Amino acid sequence: MKALKKIKSLILLPLLILFFNCNDDSNSVSNTDSEMARFSIKLVDAPGNYDKVVVDVIDIRIKMNDDSDGEDGWMSVPTNAGQYDLLELTGGESAVLVDDYEVLAGELSQIRLVLGDNNYVVNGDEEFELKTPSAQQSGLKLKVNQELEAGYLYSFVLDFNVAESIVDAGNSGNIILKPVINTSLEAASGIIEGAISPSDFQTEVSVMVGEETIISYATPENGGVFMLYGVPEGTYDLTITPDAESNYAGQVISVDVVNGQITNVGTIELELLPGSITGTILNEGLAVEASVMVDGEEVTASTDESGVFLLENLPVGMYTVTLTPDEGSGLSPTEIMDVEVMANQTTDLGEITLE
């Protein structure tokens, strides 16, 4: 009997082990289904004054549930490694660095962008190596601190600001890459997109979010299209700043942003800066009123003590200038036709004698 009991015990032990192992496998499958979140990481850019800015992405690493500065806890995730020209990632274009990666739900505390050795800029016909010492050694750490809930897909955007990231080291002759990157979650923020017309020069488009300025550039290369990523829900002043040499005026537009949505403001038509008309009346002591018609409204200016008049803030176009002398002077009004007003310029009619 003792021998039989021993055999039964030996048989029962493997069965118990098999039962518990199966139970663990069942729980493991259940946990995978109910406790996993997914995320993607995209790279976009705000242009700078270069022909190319190429960065060599070799790895993306993440740290979960750990906001410390230590080197423990980092793990590499499947990365679409390669060289990316940042100036091609504007106007709505992006590069997917991490695509739909699955991870246990929890806090995504940090993202680390690791660059290789083949980083460079092209300016005209010249190519310059980009020195990236910190990025080559350990990568650029980006604080995220975003809770990833099970069952949801999150899309993070790394908005690379080239204009602020490239530093000329001066006498050393080196050009250094010190990445300035705005990290945002599309679901926890919105996007503002639109286009600028005309688009044959660069126009800066920006919004203020707290103390931070989010910037995009509409350029001839991207057809005047702009996209501002990572704008939290709210109402913002969208500031349009054309190139200073374009002779076009800036604008401010109110925009409502909704998290997880793209706000399309359409095509923003720029207006040329206004011009002025001036002239000098030579009739001594004569008060004269100069006037033009603008959209059905009369714009007037009186002569000063020197006989000079100045009609300001006139839209670009052709005008007829009417010079009306004081009623008691006995002189008749004079019209000067086909006076052209050009953007940001003053048209001088010179010295005029009324008869």
CA–CA separation, 140 vs 211, rounded Å? Answer: 23
Quick check: is 5 in a domain? no
Quick check: is 37 in a domain? yes
Q: Are 215 and 238 in contact (CB under 8 A)?
A: no
Is the same domain home to 243 and 172? no
pLDDT one-digit tens code per residue, 218-275? 999 889 999 888 888 899 999 999 999 999 999 999 999 998 788 999 999 999 999 9
Quick check: is 332 in a domain? yes
Q: Look at the chain and report how many structural domains it folds into.
A: 3
Strand partners, 91: none
Is the same domain home to 178 and 50? yes
Give 3-state DSSP helix, strand, coil % of the chain, rounded to 5. 15, 55, 30
Is the same domain home to 213 and 324? no
What letter does residue 125 receive in the DSSP assignment? T
- CATH number, position 344: 2.60.40.1120
pLDDT one-digit tens code per residue, 93-131? 899 999 989 999 999 999 999 998 899 999 888 898 988
Is the same domain home to 162 and 90? yes
Q: Are 45 and 160 in contact (CB under 8 A)?
A: yes
Is the same domain home to 156 and 197? no
Please, where are the H alpha helices in the chain? 2-35, 133-137, 162-165
Range of the domain at 59: 33-187
Q: What is the mean pLDDT of each run of 10 residues along the chain (355 residues)?
A: 36 37 40 71 84 93 92 95 92 90 94 91 89 67 90 86 82 80 82 94 94 90 89 94 95 93 94 96 95 96 96 96 93 96 96 93
Judge if pTM exceeds 0.85: no
Is the same domain home to 267 and 302? no
